[in-house]
């Protein structure tokens, strides 16, 4: 088996096809280094601007009454692994815009401060390169790996020796896999060197582990297309037929399946839309109900006469409304996440997206990062409200109508005492747990492709093919 492996390796290294492929792949990785160096510089500036703008909101607070009516913006900052897998970093709602006041209207939005429309022009992460380029290179290397030798008659001469067919197939597969993984390794190291020298990333142990795990996922993904290529090269008989068939299979797996996932998700998962219409209807109903009951907010001097009785009733009803509208928005978000997960499940049938989601798990990006951030964001709103209520309770001069700014403490408040949001990042274990399912799917597809290749090669009538 090993002589065939070394011979195939040597043929690949001498092949103009492989040499051009290596140059193209290196160009993509150099492009990755350039794009994410520039992007890293921009993100660093943008993060500083966002942080300064957010801190100015806290610094402008004069009292509890003032703090309740402020609009705060908390966000999940980039992980620093976006050059490996963007995973929706530019379009997931990684920011919560919140106001502690009752019915302050909370909403999630993009954490970006720059033009989000331009995001599609700067995605050339490692996952993208491997998903498209490596799968296509695997086809280019294997479409005539068996059929070409059958046409020339060399395969029949090779199998005339007492050599198991499986050894021939596995040797060719391993040789092609070693070439592709070596090419990705070189390209990745070039990209890391560019990013490290520019100061965009720190070349530490975390990056090293991410790189190794990425190469493992790449090897499994490349195996799917290498083994499919070998299987179809055996079954097709002729190189031209094999190439056309493989291109069609590639288009179906990489292009067609992902295009159907959105349609399936929309058709099978019901949602309440964005929740704004439903929340607006509840507000209108509540306002009408309070108006019929003659309950409304009054100036402080009038409200003191009856101990703020109407204001307390108004606040009690609006707190119920606030809970209801927040639940509508959270239900809407759960529906969006469920639709995304349903589309992701369909996408996982595609080896390209099974690989993509595996890498997202490795880099702690994607849907798992958002699902980790969202409850923390809502938790911060509760923490901020609790802090303001406690400070209000400590002021004997306050009417204590909680979360209604004009009826809370006017005493000076040191903004440095206000709790800031600190995100609890995903642990390595939590991150890798998100890669488990797609990696199992990808491995199963690779094993299925191996079985197909072995079955096709064992059943092929090599002698007859060589005589034609």
Q: Is 408 helix (H, G, I), strand (E, B) or coil?
A: coil
The pTM of this model reads 0.86
Give me the residues of the chain with pLDDT under 70, please.
1, 90, 111-122, 155, 157-161, 272, 461-468
CB 383 within 8 A of CB 421: no
Exposed, middle or buried by CB within 10 Å (0-12, 13-18, 19+), for 187?
buried
Q: What are phi and psi of 24, to 5 degrees?
A: -60, -45
Query: Token match 């530019």: residue?
Result: 90
Q: How far apart (Å, rounded) are the C-alpha atoms in residues 236 and 150?
A: 11
3-state SS assignment for residue 174? helix
Q: How much is the pLDDT for 115? A: 55
pLDDT at res. 466: 40
DSSP string, 238-298: SHHHHHHHHHHHHHIIIIIHHHHHHHHHHHH----TTSHHHHHHHHHHHHHHHHHTT----
Q: Hunting for tokens 């927040």 — which residue is that? A: 326
DSSP per-residue string spanning 182-233: HHHHHHHHHHHHHHHHTTSS--SHHHHHHHHHHHHHHHHHHHHHHHHHHHHH
CB 338 within 8 A of CB 372: no
Classify residue 68 as left (phi > 0), alpha (psi -120 to 50) or beta. alpha
pLDDT digits (tens, 9 = 90+) for 160-211: 667 787 888 888 899 999 999 999 999 999 999 999 999 889 999 989 999 9
Domain boundaries, the chain: 2-268+351-467
């Amino acid at each position: 088996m090993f002589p065939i492996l070394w011979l195939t390796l040597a043929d690949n290294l001498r092949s103009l096809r492989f040499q051009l492929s290596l140059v193209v792949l290196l160009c993509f990785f150099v492009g990755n280094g350039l794009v994410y160096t520039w992007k890293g510089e921009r993100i660093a500036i943008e993060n500083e601007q966002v942080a300064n703008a957010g801190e100015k909101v806290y610094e402008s607070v004069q009292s509890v009454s003032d703090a309740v009516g402020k609009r705060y913006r908390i966000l999940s900052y980039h992980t620093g692994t976006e050059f490996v897998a963007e995973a929706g970093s530019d379009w997931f709602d990684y920011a919560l815009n919140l106001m502690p006041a009752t019915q302050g209207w909370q909403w999630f939005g993009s954490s970006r401060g720059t033009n989000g429309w331009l995001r599609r022009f700067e995605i050339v992460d490692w996952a993208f390169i491997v998903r498209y380029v490596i799968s296509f290179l695997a086809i280019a290397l294997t479409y005539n790996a068996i059929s070409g030798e059958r046409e020339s008659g060399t395969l029949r001469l090779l199998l005339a020796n007492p050599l198991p067919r499986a050894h021939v197939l596995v040797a060719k597969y391993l040789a092609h896999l070693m070439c592709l993984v070596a090419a990705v390794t070189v390209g990745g190291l070039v990209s890391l060197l560019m990013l490290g020298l520019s100061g965009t990333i720190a070349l530490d142990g975390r990056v090293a582990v991410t790189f190794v795990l990425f190469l493992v996922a790449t090897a499994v993904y490349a195996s799917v297309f290498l083994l499919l290529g070998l299987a179809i090269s055996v079954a097709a008989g002729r190189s031209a037929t094999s190439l056309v068939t493989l291109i069609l299979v590639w288009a179906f797996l990489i292009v067609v399946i992902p295009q159907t996932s959105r349609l399936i998700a929309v058709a099978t998962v019901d949602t309440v839309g964005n929740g704004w219409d439903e929340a607006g209807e509840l507000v209108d109903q509540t306002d009408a109900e309070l108006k019929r009951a003659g309950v409304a907010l009054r100036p402080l001097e009038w409200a003191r006469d009856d101990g703020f009785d109407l204001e307390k009733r108004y606040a009690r009803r609006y707190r119920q409304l606030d809970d209801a509208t927040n639940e509508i928005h959270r239900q809407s978000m759960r529906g969006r996440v469920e639709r995304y997960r349903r589309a992701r499940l369909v996408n996982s049938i595609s080896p390209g997206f099974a690989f993509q989601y595996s890498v997202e798990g490795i880099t702690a990006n994607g849907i798992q990062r958002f699902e980790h951030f969202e409850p923390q964001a809502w938790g911060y709103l509760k923490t901020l409200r609790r802090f303001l209520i406690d400070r209000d309770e400590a002021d004997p001069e306050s009417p204590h109508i909680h979360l209604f700014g004009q009826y809370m403490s006017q005493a000076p408040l040191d903004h440095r005492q206000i709790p800031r949001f600190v995100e609890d990042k995903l642990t390595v274990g939590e991150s890798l747990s998100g890669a488990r399912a797609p990696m199992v799917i990808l491995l199963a597809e690779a094993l299925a492709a191996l079985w197909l290749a072995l079955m096709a090669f064992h059943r092929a009538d090599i002698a007859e093919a060589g005589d034609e």
